[in-house]
Amino acid sequence: MQSFLAPQRLLLGPGPSAVHPRVLRAMSTALIGHLDPIFLGIMNDIQTLLRRVFATTNPFTIAVSGTGSAGMEAAIVNIIEPGDHVVVGINGVFGTRLATIIERCGGNAIRVEVPWGQVIEPGSIAEILQRSSPVKAVVLVHAETSTGAWQPIEPIAALCREYDTLLIVDAVTSLGGMPVEIDQWGIDVCYSATQKCLSCPPGLAPLTLSQRALSVLKARRSPCPSWYFDLSLIADYWAEQRRAYHHTAPISMIYALREALRLIDEEGLPARFSRHQLNSRALIAGLMALGLSPLPPPDRQLPTLVCVTVPAHIDNEEAVRAELLRRFGIEIGGGLGPLKGKVWRIGLMGESSTEANVLTLLNALEEIGIRSGWVSTPGAGLQAAAHTYSVGR
Ligand SMILES: *Cc1c(COP(=O)(O)O)cnc(C)c1O
């Protein structure tokens, strides 16, 4: 068997996103013990930098070992106990997954469902909070990666304050690519993942808990049923004074995340958010010129993931994606569940969100379209994107 050398790929799918060479270099740094005082310093740095991207002063801000789903599971399994009423917004794959985890914890998931691509309106949450009290938590997906929909958080956060309910938010495809304001909006529990807008390999799930969430944790009637994700135990490892062994930290991933967060800090969040905005607008303009329209309504489209409907004149969307990968080395995503075969999901996350990548993808798509006959005005996509760039700055 030969050693593996990865082919060149342009990662424009729903994750993982491109990783900066500095992050890859950090990962190849020699190991030190996970209780070494130097390593504990690295963990402090991670906490400081994570608080900046989460825009919070929450002392409990950590990186859970595992991918985004580990963050999701940690959030739910610690807060929800058997019999708890939990309102969950469902407009795609991840809301559905959250409801499943809530039910596995014995919670009563009160589903607020809207068609995929739409977002949850505050009014429908208010209605349930009025009649089903007490509700332990409201759970929302900020950026629904399966549909490209951008869920407004603030109005629902205000409702949660009013009804003294916790707010749990999935920020897996938003953190580091668009504003996530934990303190200002009033989010109690929020988790993310490293391989999306933080541009790090998959393997850690940033997580932050407010004081309100911590008191709920302390007041649990029963111990957390998951030992690995029990935050009251994990807290002793992350607490600056203690650093007691719970499980071995994934050391190389912690190195990687520290470097990825340093890169974000150097760019600055406002610049990073406008970069994501501009590139997604240019891509959407280009795709629309090719006859592909975004699934979510105009004011609800994510700047980190563009989800477009594949028009009827493209009869084999899977073949187009396969050709993008084989001939151009470009990865984009297809649809999940009911959207399988109907949409393309193009991630412009972190390092992947660049003007060059947008133009490269549009160019490759047009070339495929010209050859297969569904692009009739060559250059229309590039022209629309170029126009956005020329006026957008
Ligand atoms: C990717 C994703 C997850 C799950 O993360 P994994 O790293 O795949 O476990 C959860 N929520 C959303 C919104 C996601 O996009």
Say how many Å lie between the CA of residue 193 and the centre of ligand 1: 7
Comparing CA positions, the residue from 237, 191, 187 lying closest to residue 78 is 191
Q: Which of 216, 251, 266 is the last residue of a domain?
A: 266
How many Cα atoms sit within 13 Å of 300 on the Cβ side? 19
What is the distance in A from the centroid of ligand 1 to the CA of 383?
34
Ligand 1 centre to CA of 144 (Å) is 9
Residue 277 lies in a domain: yes
In a domain, 1, yes or no: no
pLDDT of 238: 84
CATH number of the domain at 351, please. 3.90.1150.10
65 domain-assigned: yes
For residues 301 and 321, give the distance between their C-alpha atoms in angstroms, rounded to a whole number: 22
Question: How many angstroms from the chain centroid is the CA of residue 347?
Answer: 11
The predicted structure's pLDDT at residue 170: 98
Q: How far is CA 301 from CA 67, 150, 356, in A?
A: 25, 6, 21
Q: Which of 48, 7, 21 is nearest to 265 (CA)?
A: 48
pLDDT at residue 94, rounded to an integer: 97
CA of 69, closest atom in ligand 1: 9
Q: Is residue 6 part of a domain?
A: no
Reported as a pLDDT band with limits 50, 70 and 90, residue 361 is very high
Q: What is the pLDDT of residues 55-86, one digit of tens each?
A: 999 999 999 999 999 999 999 999 999 999 99
Residues with C-beta less than 6 Å from any ligand 1 atom: 15, 67-69, 72, 94, 141, 143, 145, 170, 172-173, 193, 202
The enclosing domain of 214 has a CATH number of 3.40.640.10
| Number of residues that make up the chain | 393
Average pLDDT over residues 37-54: 96
Atom of ligand 1 nearest to the CA of 15: 1
- Ligand 1 midpoint to CA 94 (Å): 7
41 is written with which tokens? Answer: 């310093």
Query: Residue with the nearest Cα to atom 8 of ligand 1?
Result: 68
Q: What is this structure's pTM?
A: 0.97
User: CA-CA distance, 352 to 279, in Å (whole number)?
Assistant: 10
Give domain status of residue 319, yes or no.
yes
Nearest to 308 by CA among 149, 195, 94, 199: 149
Q: Look at residue 372 and tell me whether its pLDDT is greater than 90.
A: yes
- Say yes or no: 350 and 261 in one domain: no
Model confidence at 236, pLDDT cuts 50, 70, 90, reads confident
Do 304 and 262 share a structural domain?
A: no
Q: Which of 69, 98, 345 to mutate to test the pocket of ligand 1 (most atoms within 8 A of CB)?
A: 69
Contacts of 286 (CB under 8 A, 6+ apart): 358, 362, 381, 382, 384, 385, 388
Per-residue pLDDT averaged across 218-229, rounded? 95
41: buried, middle or exposed (CB in 10 Å: 19+, 13-18, 0-12)? Answer: exposed
Task: Please report which helix (H) or strand (E) contains residue 10, including its range.
Answer: strand 10-11
pLDDT over 70 (residue 226): yes
Arithmetic mean of pLDDT, 128-147: 95
pLDDT digits (tens, 9 = 90+) for 284-304: 999 999 999 999 999 999 999
Last residue of a domain, one of 237, 266, 295: 266
Residues 253 and 294 in one domain: no
Q: Give the rounded percent of residues in the chain with a pLDDT score beyond 70.
A: 100
Burial 99-124 (b: 16+ CB within 10 A, else e): bebbeebebbbbebebebbbbbeeee
Do residues 50 and 77 share a domain? yes
Q: What is the pLDDT of residue 202?
A: 98
Quickly state the pLDDT bin for 129 (edges 50, 70, 90).
very high
Q: Are residues 278 and 320 in the same domain?
A: yes
- Give me ligand 1 centre to Cα 309, in Å: 21
Which of 113, 299, 231, 188 has the alpha carbon at shortest distance from 171? 188
What is 118-138 written as a DSSP string? B---HHHHHHHHHHSPPP-EE
Binning pLDDT at 50, 70 and 90, where does residue 132 land? confident
Give the confidence band of 47 by pLDDT, cuts at 50, 70, 90: very high
Q: Which atom of ligand 1 is nearest to the CA of 195?
A: 7
Regarding whether 308 and 322 lie in a shared domain, the answer is: yes
Q: Sign (positive/negative) of CA torsion 57, 60, 65, 66?
A: negative
pLDDT, residue 103, reads 98
Same domain as 295, residue 230:
no
Residue-wise pLDDT for 246-262, tens only, equals: 899 999 999 999 999 99
Environment class of 312 (CB within 10 Å of its CB; exposed 0-12, middle 13-18, buried 19+): exposed
CA-closest residue to ligand 1 atom 15? 145
Asked whether residue 197 falls in the same domain as residue 327, the answer is: no
Whether residues 252 and 343 share a domain: the answer is no
**pLDDT value for 393:** 62
Residue 12, in any domain of the structure: no
pLDDT per residue as tens digits for the range 161-180: 999 999 999 999 999 999 99
Q: Average pLDDT for residues 270-284, to the nearest whole number?
A: 98
248 and 274, same domain (yes or no):
no
Do 239 and 278 sit in the same domain of this protein?
no
Let me know whether 234 and 283 are in one domain: no
Domain that holds residue 337: 268-392
What is the rounded average pLDDT for all residues in the chain?
96
Residue 4 included in any domain: no
CA 293 to centroid of ligand 1, rounded, Å: 24
Number of domains the chain contains: 2
Nearest-CA residue for atom 5 of ligand 1: 68
Structure tokens at 55: 């825009």
Q: Report if residue 30 sits inside a domain.
A: yes
Single residue among 250, 266, 282 that ends a domain in this structure: 266
Contact between residue 135 and residue 155 where contact means Cβ atoms under 8 Å apart: no
